[in-house]
Amino acid sequence: MKTIVSTVKGARDFYPQQMAIRNWLYHHITRVSRSYGYEEYDGPFLEKIELYAAKSGEELVKEQAFVFPDRGGELITLRPELTPSLARMVAQKQGELLYPLRWWSFGPFWRYEKPQKGRSREFFQWNIDLIGVDSPEADAELIAICADFFRAVGLAPDQVQVFVNDRQLMDAEFDRLGIPAELKKKALHLIDRREKMSPEAWKAYAAEEGFSDNMLAGLAELLEDKQTWKQSPRLTRVFEILKAAGAVDYVAYEPRIVRGLEYYTGVVFEAKEITKEGRSILGGGHYGNLVSDVGGDPLPGVGFAMGDMMIQVVLEKFGLLPAAGGTPAEILVTVFDESLSPESARLAADLRGAGLNVVTYPDAQKLPRQFKFADKIGVRFVLVVGPDEVMAGTATVKDLSERTQETVAREKVAEYIKTRLAG
């Protein structure tokens, strides 16, 4: 027996059912993005590894990127994220663009990591950014987009929340706790690891990194205080805007959210499922100097990214994924016999010309078999063009959902079906 060649580890096949879900997500992402005035764009799938070295973090560059030399010996990578590409694209035409920019994209990315539920080495990701303005209103807009997307796909505030923090607020709190400048980056990493480690392991890790017992006690107290955000004028304004926009029910302050990527400089946020699993769905934040890191003049921005796999896990858990679809066609035109096959093809072409989606049965099987096939693929209307219909200039239209049958003049079939579809 022949062995079927398997897919590359961590890559995915998209059968029609999976493709339908991906397109359903893309539809909602498109609608929500456009409702805020964002334009769609994309970058190349291949980039130079040096693009990510400055700001994406050592782990992503050295451990997660698919890196290989091209024929000239230059190190190339399959893109692991899009924000550095976005920064490069803006820097290349910085003087020609109209600010603020509102751009979004949905495309494939690759990271070399262990495949598991909700995560693979190849994935699709929604990226959306507002560039060229530094204001709490901009931060609030991206968070509101998260809330509107969750509302669009049926997720409620008691199922998901967007947790918000501010790195500048954390920086001020580090000063208050006496944490020196050389330990501040490590303090962010320490906070980021808090939920991933036991209290004992976390304490030991902090000691190894040079944190005193007093510093660690202060950090632990800071992580439990859910009112610290009131000391931040920026976060206070963000919550005020979100309340006015009707999105605040989806949002909460969380001091444990600091985001691992090094290019974030201000407000950061992460959406999570509100269950014991606490799955992370999306994340993002404010960056102040990303464009300058790739050769442009400094530009502020705020954005987030959401992978397609984890959101599907969460939607499936709550029963919110769309039902597996069948054919996109509303109509199947049968083939009565070989001599009448051209008549079926002609009718199908006329209906497609009228804007309808039509399947033509590929050969002259018995009509009951063709009807059975139509039922299985989810077609609503089945059309028969037999000798009697050809002579009379009509077609027999069977509505499988209503269990009705009518004879309709050929030139009226498209209008008849559109009327039935409309209501």
Q: What is the pLDDT along the chain (423 residues), one digit of tens a residue?
A: 788 888 889 899 999 999 999 999 999 999 999 999 999 999 999 999 888 875 555 666 767 888 889 999 898 999 999 988 998 999 999 999 999 999 999 999 999 888 888 889 999 999 999 999 999 999 999 999 999 999 999 999 999 999 999 999 999 998 998 999 888 888 888 888 888 888 888 888 888 888 888 998 898 899 899 999 999 999 999 999 999 999 999 999 999 998 866 678 899 999 999 987 789 999 999 988 778 878 888 899 999 999 999 999 999 999 999 987 678 899 999 999 999 999 999 999 999 999 999 999 998 889 999 999 999 999 999 999 999 999 999 999 999 999 999 999 999 999 999 999 997
- In this prediction, residue 57 carries a pLDDT of 57
What is the DSSP code string of 310-346?
HHHHHHHHTT-SPPPP--S-SEEE----GGGHHHHHH
- In this prediction, residue 55 carries a pLDDT of 55
- In this prediction, residue 226 carries a pLDDT of 93
Map tokens 């009565």 to a residue: 336
Q: Going by DSSP bridges, is the β-strand pair 381-384/331-333 parallel, antiparallel, or unpaired?
A: parallel
Query: The tokens of 13 are what?
Result: 């096949």
Phi, psi of 276 (to 5 degrees): -65, -25
Dihedral of CA atoms 96, 100, 105, 111 in degrees, nearest 10, equals: 90
- In this prediction, residue 206 carries a pLDDT of 85
- Candidates 283, 330, 373, 316; CA nearest to 24 is 316
DSSP assignment letter at 421: H
- In this prediction, residue 234 carries a pLDDT of 95
Residues 6+ apart with CB under 8 A from 2: none
Helix 181-192 × helix 199-208 angle, to 10°: 160
- Say which CATH topology domain 331-422 has: Rossmann fold (3.40.50)
Hey, where are the domains in the chain?
A: 16-317, 331-422
The sheet with strand 381-384 has its strands ordered as 358-360, 331-333, 381-384, 394-399, 404-409
- In this prediction, residue 143 carries a pLDDT of 98
- In this prediction, residue 385 carries a pLDDT of 96
Most distant CA atoms of the chain, gap in Å: 95
Strand partners, 405: 398
CA 266 from chain centre, in angstroms, equals 23
- Please tell me the CATH code under which domain 16-317 is placed: 3.30.930.10
